[in-house]
Amino acid sequence: MSDIALHANAVQARAQARPGVPAMTMLRVLLGLFYLPHFYSKVVGFESTSVFFAKAGFHPPGFFVAFSAAAELAVAVALILGLFTRYAALVSFVLMVVAAYAIIQVKGLGWYWSGGGIEYLVMWGLASLVVFVHAWREEPGLLGFGRNIRL
């Protein structure tokens, strides 16, 4: 057996021996939890969010605010509970791409989050892609009901 195979077996044995929540489950749940304040802000700040959506070119803005709030809530619940994980993570990625597009349309291309840039959205989108790829590999079946449905 090669050194690489021995190392891989040792890493796998250590991972199986450690109790606790797997890192991918933690990432998935955190991604879902991060959506909740964004959903809430769209509900309580519907008018101001509609103004932003109109500036970004989404018309009718009220429809797109309601649609994005519903999508964010659905993605949050699915990711937190581990339901349809691969689809929820893919929708999460698409939401971040659209959000980045909107920010660029309204504020121009900036990177740093503290300056109104897309840094946070890129990180969130890439983390969503990681969860998507992992779920695609690990969850059998068309609907993704498999061994990863757990908290």
Q: Quick: pLDDT tens for 73-120.
A: 999 999 999 999 999 999 999 999 999 999 999 999 999 988 999 999
Instruction: List, in sequence order, the alpha helices (H) in the chain.
Output: 3-17, 23-44, 46-56, 61-81, 85-107, 119-138
Please give the pLDDT value at position 9: 62
Q: Quick: pLDDT tens for 38-78.
A: 999 999 999 999 999 999 999 999 999 999 999 999 999 99
Please give the pLDDT value at position 139: 74
State both tokens at 103: 């920010």
| Rounded-to-integer distance, Cα 11 and Cα 7, Å | 6
Residue of 14 and 111 predicted with greater confidence: 111
Confidence of residue 151 (pLDDT cuts 50, 70, 90): very low
User: Hunting for tokens 């009718």 — which residue is that?
Assistant: 60
| Rounded-to-integer distance, Cα 51 and Cα 58, Å | 10
| Rounded-to-integer distance, Cα 88 and Cα 82, Å | 9
